[in-house]
């Protein structure tokens, strides 16, 4: 236990629920070690889900939460800049306000922890002469790629996606060119330079906390600790402190319908379908998904949103909903008669569902997911295998990790970002996961991972120890 009168952790979260949630969870964990914790959140003013999460977190009274107003970046970024560019610039432009806000704290901080997009703020720790850490809210393989990017930048001459061979990352699973993270898709895009900059800045920290655990990625973590493998890159100490996931909350008494329905379904028989806080499908893809689910004849819960207006690989959490003239309710967007024909096996939820609580229900046996890392961890920690349907950010890497390394997911052969995944392929994947032997084997493996994730947080578990040790 640390002395809370002497140890004050200041955390900085970038906008987006996928970034905010793991930072809040880290704050909670640090509180259990008796740290005083202040969390600065650069909020996206448009996200109702984010505001709700912040509000309910604040009501716990565990940590102080201070909202930093989003700086105006319209003069520094193109209006059609990608989410990664906007996030990186937004966090950089926040630095003066962040520094002043820290100066105004009555209890000076003793350690600074920023998330992936906050690395430009590491210098603020130097102003206050305190140690500084980066919190990677995804996995160690992603961290390894990010750290190695400055070397790939020199070695690979053309576009990464045009490479004939998988990209080498020291000691780690090689990365297929088609699975690179969004910022690596086009090198001339500003988001590539922003991401490269993050890779250069991370080693300036005193250490990196990462939302994984020893038994999930043993080889990658060993590689990250083997300085000999990394040549000129100065490696920093790595602390795997995962899985950090939102614990299930109480069920909202106005929204029990989905749980009443789940109660009536057999154990592990329902496929939960959702694409995270910002994922949208094209209209054509939604129609194929609907027919694929119908053809599979399996039970499902589908969180339906209006389709994307244009093909985009970005999340949409910077916008409110999808379109000003979006119609309300699934019926407007699904094939005619679909809701009627599937009424005995399917349940649709409009726009947003209590995901963590659904995934933990015993009737849920599969998750068709966009593979955001929070959703991925929520699935693993509830012992639910996946259909990996990546859309944006680092999700193709996540899907590769789940399908090829951990073998707990089925993945479409058609790359969702390149073409439309057809109804027959969807039907086949659903059946493989929910009915076939292969799916049973995946369920067995994910349950083992669930249990190893729990062990990591035991009194003597690897993540408990890593979190207790990171500052010493
Ligand atoms: N989420 C939810 N209900 C929904 C959609 C998403 O509660 O209908 C939550 C989900 O449980 C997860 C987060 O939103 O904690 C999404 O984070 P993730 O990293 O999976 O994806 P992102 O939204 O960042 O792409």
Q: 271-325 pLDDT, tens per residue?
A: 999 999 989 999 999 999 999 999 999 999 999 999 998 645 444 443 333 444 5
Among 16, 53, 374, say which to mutate for ligand 1: greatest number of ligand atoms within 8 Å of CB.
374
C-alpha torsion 358→362→367→372, nearest 10: 50
The catalytic site residues sit at 19, 115
Among 245, 277, 303, say which to mutate for ligand 1: greatest number of ligand atoms within 8 Å of CB.
277
> Do residues 66 and 41 touch, judged by C-beta distance below 8 A?
yes
pLDDT for 310: 60
Q: For residue 139, which of 42, 82, 209, 76 has the smallest C-alpha distance? A: 209
Q: What is the pTM of this model?
A: 0.95
C-alpha torsion 362→386→256→243, nearest 10: 80
- The alpha carbon dihedral of 9, 15, 20, 23 has a sign of negative
- Residue with the smallest CA separation from ligand 1 atom 18 is 372
328 Cα: distance to centroid of ligand 1 (angstroms): 20
> Could you tell me which residues come within 8 angstroms of residue 221 by beta carbon, excluding any fewer than 6 positions away?
140, 212, 214, 238, 240
Three-class secondary structure of residue 348 per DSSP = strand
276 Cα: distance to centroid of ligand 1 (angstroms): 4
Among 84, 375, 379, say which to mutate for ligand 1: greatest number of ligand atoms within 8 Å of CB.
375
C-alpha torsion 348→354→357→361, nearest 10: 0
Average pLDDT, the chain: 93
CA terminus-to-terminus distance, the chain: 12
Three-class secondary structure of residue 30 per DSSP = helix
Name the stretches of the chain with pLDDT < 50: 311, 313-324
69 Cα: distance to centroid of ligand 1 (angstroms): 23
Q: For residue 299, which of 363, 359, 384, 376 has the smallest C-alpha distance? A: 363
22 Cα: distance to centroid of ligand 1 (angstroms): 11
Pocket of ligand 1 from Cβ distances under 6 Å: 16-18, 21, 246, 274, 276-279, 303, 315, 352-353, 355-356, 372-375, 378
CATH code for the structural domain at 4-242+458-471: 3.40.50.2000
CATH code for the structural domain at 253-452: 3.40.50.2000
Q: Which atom of ligand 1 is nearest to the CA of 19?
A: 24
pLDDT for 163: 98
Q: How does strand 111-115 pair with strand 299-304?
A: unpaired
pLDDT for 326: 67
CA-based R_g, the chain, Å: 22
Q: Which atom of ligand 1 is nearest to the CA of 359?
A: 11
Distance of alpha carbon 215 from the chain centroid: 19
Q: CATH 3.40.50.2000 occupies which residues in the chain?
A: 4-242+458-471, 253-452
pLDDT for 323: 46
Q: 215-269 pLDDT, tens per residue?
A: 999 999 999 999 999 998 989 999 999 999 998 888 888 789 999 999 999 999 9
Q: Angle CA(460)–CA(463)–CA(468) in degrees, nearest 5?
A: 75
Q: 58-85 pLDDT, tens per residue?
A: 999 999 999 999 999 999 999 999 999 9
Q: Which atom of ligand 1 is nearest to the CA of 371?
A: 20
User: Token pair of 116, please?
Assistant: 């992936």
CA–CA dist 243, 128 (Å, integer): 30
């Amino acid at each position: 236990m640390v002395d809370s009168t002497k140890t004050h952790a200041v955390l900085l979260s970038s906008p987006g629920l996928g970034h905010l949630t793991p930072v809040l969870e880290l704050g909670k964990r640090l509180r259990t070690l008796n740290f005083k914790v202040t969390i600065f959140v650069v909020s996206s003013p448009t996200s109702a889900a984010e505001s709700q999460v912040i509000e309910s977190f604040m009501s716990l009274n565990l940590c102080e939460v201070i909202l930093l107003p989003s700086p105006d970046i319209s003069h520094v970024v193109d209006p059609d800049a990608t989410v990664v560019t906007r996030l990186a610039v937004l966090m950089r432009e926040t630095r003066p306000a962040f520094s002043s806000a820290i100066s105004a704290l009555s209890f000076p901080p003793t350690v600074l922890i920023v998330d992936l997009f906050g690395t430009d703020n590491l210098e603020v720790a130097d102003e206050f002469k305190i140690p500084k850490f980066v919190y990677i809210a995804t996995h160690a393989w992603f961290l390894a790629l990010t750290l190695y990017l400055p070397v790939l930048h020199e070695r690979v001459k053309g576009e990464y996606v045009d490479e004939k061979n998988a990209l080498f990352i020291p000691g780690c699973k090689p990365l297929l060119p088609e699975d690179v993270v969004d910022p690596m898709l086009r090198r001339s895009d500003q988001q590539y330079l922003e991401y490269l900059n993050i890779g250069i800045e991370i080693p300036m920290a005193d250490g990196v906390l990462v939302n994984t655990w020893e038994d999930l990625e043993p080889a990658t973590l060993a590689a990250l600790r083997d300085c000999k493998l990394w040549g000129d890159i100065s490696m920093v100490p790595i602390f795997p402190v995962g899985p950090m996931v939102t614990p299930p909350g109480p069920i909202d008494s106005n929204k029990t319908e989905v749980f009443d329905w789940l109660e009536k379904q057999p154990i592990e028989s329902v496929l939960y379908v959702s694409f995270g806080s910002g994922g949208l499908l094209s209209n054509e893809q939604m129609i194929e998904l609907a027919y694929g689910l119908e053809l599979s004849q399996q039970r499902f819960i589908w969180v339906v949103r209006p389709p994307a207006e244009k093909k985009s690989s970005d999340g949409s959490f910077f916008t409110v909903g999808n379109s000003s003239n979006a119609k309300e309710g699934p019926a407007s967007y699904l094939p005619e008669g679909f809701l009627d024909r599937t009424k005995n096996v399917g349940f649709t939820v409009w726009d947003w569902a209590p995901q963590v609580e659904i995934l933990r229900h015993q009737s849920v046996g599969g998750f068709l997911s966009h593979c955001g890392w929070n959703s991925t961890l929520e699935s693993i920690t509830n012992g639910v295998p996946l259909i990996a349907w990546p859309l944006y950010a680092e999700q193709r890497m996540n899907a590769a990790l789940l399908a090829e390394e951990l073998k707990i997911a089925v993945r479409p052969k058609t790359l969702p970002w390149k073409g439309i995944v057809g109804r027959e392929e969807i039907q086949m994947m659903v059946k493989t996961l929910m009915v076939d032997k292969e799916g049973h084997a995946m369920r067995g493996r994910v349950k083992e991972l669930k249990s190893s994730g729990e062990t990591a947080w035991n009194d003597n578990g690897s993540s408990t120890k890593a979190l207790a040790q990171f500052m010493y």
